[in-house]
Structure 1
Amino acid sequence: MDILIGLLGVIFTIGIAFLCSNDKKNINFKAIIILLVLQVIVTLFMFRTTFGAKIIEVVSNGVTKVISYGYEGINFVVGGLIPEGVSVFFFNVLMVIIFTATLLSILTYIKVLPLAIKYIGGFLAKITGLSKVVTFNSVNSIFFGQSEAILAIKTHLDKMSNNKLFIISTSAMASVSASIMGAYMTMIPPKYVLVSMLLNALSGLVVATIMTPITKEDDEEINIKDIATSNSIFGAIGEGALDGGKVALIVAAQLVAFVGLMALINGIFTALINISFSEILGYIFAPIAFIMGVPWSEVISAGSIMGMKLATNEFVAMLQFQPLMPELSAKTVAIVSSFLVSFANFSSIGIIAGSIQAIHAEKASIVAKYGLKILLAATLASILTGTVVGLFV
């Protein structure tokens, strides 16, 4: 029964994307099938094989170990401010972003990430028949934030069709940045963070290429120099640290605003109609949570977290989800955790449009015009990722 419900969730996601397609006749169904098969293979391998489980364990432990070195720097700067045994979110979670962003910048400078992204993206383009630019951007989005991923293909923006622009915007919004992966892993199970980052790259392509089909051009060449901007290893370290610091402060500011506003809104709703806004979100998203595979008894709790993420951001939702996890089934934790690992929320529309504005004002206006549709596509991608994970947990 669980498998049938999960398959219904996949069909629902594909069906909504198909209904929203602006060119149903030219949908590349071969690419869609290949991408879905790749998702099944990745998830099956990671969750249902001993070797895959070992990879997740090794990578998770490796990331945790690397992050522990980052805490040396954090403790050096703020160690005296934190009493022993006390966890302060800004220090224990957000400041980790500075360290991971620095590592990401170093790996970019020494060309490890750019080459991996180029060849993995090229492989996806070859087996699916999709454009190199969109597959490159999809893989690039696994490692970099939505702004940085788009900047890496800035030389292609001028000649980019509206459909292709829609796909790269969706991929950026459906992903997360590897620089904040460590922060996520302190809040939800690390294995779902790792697997979801891979699946989101494929989910974004599945949904977006159904909604806005494109043809493959022959003259597309990706220049990995567009990814790296530093001129030296020390420059890369400095840029990474500063970028990470900016992200940590931005996330902190958003959390102060969003958590406070949600508390205010919940208080108003409770006073007026004796039901909180979070509970209303739970009822709205409950049917979606159910077709994703969440047990019926837990759909309200799961739905409220999913709705919270869309209305605010993934950090707010993860903070709300943390105390609920011990009370929920393993399946619900897996599905909701996987759904949360993306930038699909209302504020991301402005972030993506603003990033493109700095490069190409005309294209930015197009992104703003179709912002809600891009958000729908990215949310459907998150639903697809969560559903696929649920099928194998």
Structure 2
Amino acid sequence: MSIVMGIVGILFVIFLAWIASSNKKLAFKHWKNIVLLLALQLLAAFLFLSTTGGQTFILWLANAFDELLGFAREGGLFVFGDLMSTTEGEPADVFLFNVLLPIIFISAIIGILSFTRILPFIIKGIGFLLTKITGMPYIESYNGAASMMLGQSEVFVSLKNHLPKMTTQRLYTLSAQAMSSISLSIVGAFFTMLDPQFVIIAIVLNLFGVYVIVHIINPYEEEIDDGDVEISTNPEKGKSFFQVLGDYIIDGGKIVLIVGAMLIGFIALIGLLNNIFLLIPGSSLSFQDILGYIFMPIAFLIGIPWDEAQTAGSLMATKLITNEWRRNLLLTNS
């Protein structure tokens, strides 16, 4: 039954995307690419979740991030001292210390990998492979890989010479890819909130999934050949190592401030709305409860058991109206 509901869920999502398609007839012509990408998602899920090799890789990656987070804690201890520990010497259960501060250190690592040209080499390689797999032009394929590793701002800097020449459709694809991805600096934070294996598999599935949706919602009329297009993968050219490192560390700090501010604001607003709805005479449902019931059928149709669909619907709605951080916090505590 779960397999049947999974298939129904896939078809339901494809149907929703087709309803929103800019060219419904042309979307049908991309069925080969869509089927291939769905097959790759299934293969990736099987390899990571059901094979010894996949589980070993996930465990190794999770342990590697744990080590990095340990180093990040050393930097935090120097600045915040005893605030980061309880009276028993255990790490304090504070979101800022355990989840947000490591972003700064991971961002520094990304800066080093970018300066040494290791990360750009990996991104261009993945972009080339995605071009062969997804049926998308090279710039879109590069953007998908780069967004997954660098984040939205950095990837668009590397494409700044090409953006003015691109059509609205191609710009939509680039934006969809950027908005559907998280950078490596955020992945480490998510590892502290959720089971690492699900974070990793979600990144891989999302990488292919966004191409499925784009092929349906935003199909291209003509074949596009970017040829030997040159992409600026070295925006730090001319800067010294410590200039680049400092820039990335500062960028990580900005992310921490932005995420913290967003969480404070959104969580406070949701708390206010929950209480307003509970003040309605005869009502025992909060704002989030109502959202959960609204999204409950959608959660069920994408394969979530009915007895868990209301909770899942509430999480989906929370992500939609706030952000993934608030959703992950609720998921961690549920």
* Partner in structure 2 of residue 26 of structure 1: 26
Cα deviation per residue 1:37-63 (whole Å; 9 max; x = unaligned)?
211111111111111111111111111
- Structure 2 counterpart of 1:218, which letter? D
The structure 2 residue matched to 1:217, chosen from 224, 249, 254, is 224
- Structure 2 counterpart of 1:282, which letter? G
1:4 aligns with 2:14: no
Cα deviation per residue 1:310-346 (whole Å; 9 max; x = unaligned)?
110011111122111xxxxxxxxxxxxxxxxxxxxxx
Please, which runs of 5 or more residues in structure 2 have no aligned partner?
none
Residue 67 of structure 1: CA displacement? Answer: 1.5
* Partner in structure 1 of residue 279 of structure 2: 271
* Partner in structure 2 of residue 344 of structure 1: none
Give the alignment of 1:109-124 within 5 angstroms: 109-124=115-130
- Structure 2 counterpart of 1:229, which letter? E
* Partner in structure 2 of residue 256 of structure 1: 264
User: Helix, strand or coil for the counterpart of 1:216?
Assistant: coil
* Partner in structure 2 of residue 165 of structure 1: 171
Distance 1:74 1:216 in 2: 51
* Partner in structure 1 of residue 104 of structure 2: 98
1:294 aligns with 2:301: no
Contact 1:132 1:221 in 2 (8 A): no
Identity of aligned residues (%): 39
Give the alignment of 1:261-340 within 5 angstroms: 261-272=269-280, 273-324=283-334
Cα deviation per residue 1:338-377 (whole Å; 9 max; x = unaligned)?
xxxxxxxxxxxxxxxxxxxxxxxxxxxxxxxxxxxxxxxx
* Partner in structure 2 of residue 43 of structure 1: 45
Show structure 1 runs of 4+ deviating over 4 A: none
Q: How many residues align?
A: 324
TM-aligned CA distance change 1:234 to 1:318, over 3 Å: same
Distance 2:190 2:229 in 1: 30
- Structure 1 counterpart of 2:152, which letter? Q
Cα deviation per residue 1:233-291 (whole Å; 9 max; x = unaligned)?
22221111100000000001111101111100100011124310100111111112212
Cα deviation per residue 1:140-175 (whole Å; 9 max; x = unaligned)?
111122222233222221121111111111111111
* Partner in structure 2 of residue 387 of structure 1: none
Distance 1:306 1:252 in 2: 21
* Partner in structure 1 of residue 17 of structure 2: 17
Distance 1:245 1:306 in 2: 28
User: Helix, strand or coil for the counterpart of 2:21?
Assistant: coil
Contact 2:108 2:252 in 1 (8 A): yes
* Partner in structure 1 of residue 147 of structure 2: 141
Distance 1:184 1:164 in 2: 30
Distance 2:325 2:141 in 1: 27
* Partner in structure 1 of residue 241 of structure 2: 233
Residue 220 of structure 1: CA displacement? Answer: 4.3
Residue 115 of structure 1: CA displacement? Answer: 1.3
- Structure 1 counterpart of 2:224, which letter? E
Query: What TM-score do you get using the length of structure 1 for normalisation?
Result: 0.79
Which of the pair has more CA radius of gyration? 2
Residue 224 of structure 1: CA displacement? Answer: 4.6
Query: What TM-score do you get using the length of structure 2 for normalisation?
Result: 0.93
Pick which of 310-319 and 151-160 moved more. 151-160
- Structure 1 counterpart of 2:83, which letter? L
- Structure 2 counterpart of 1:274, which letter? S
Distance 2:246 2:65 in 1: 21
Distance 2:112 2:311 in 1: 40
Contact 1:143 1:178 in 2 (8 A): yes
TM-aligned CA distance change 1:227 to 1:34, over 3 Å: farther
Please, which runs of 5 or more residues in structure 1 have no aligned partner?
325-393
User: Helix, strand or coil for the counterpart of 1:225?
Assistant: coil
Residue 228 of structure 1: CA displacement? Answer: 3.9
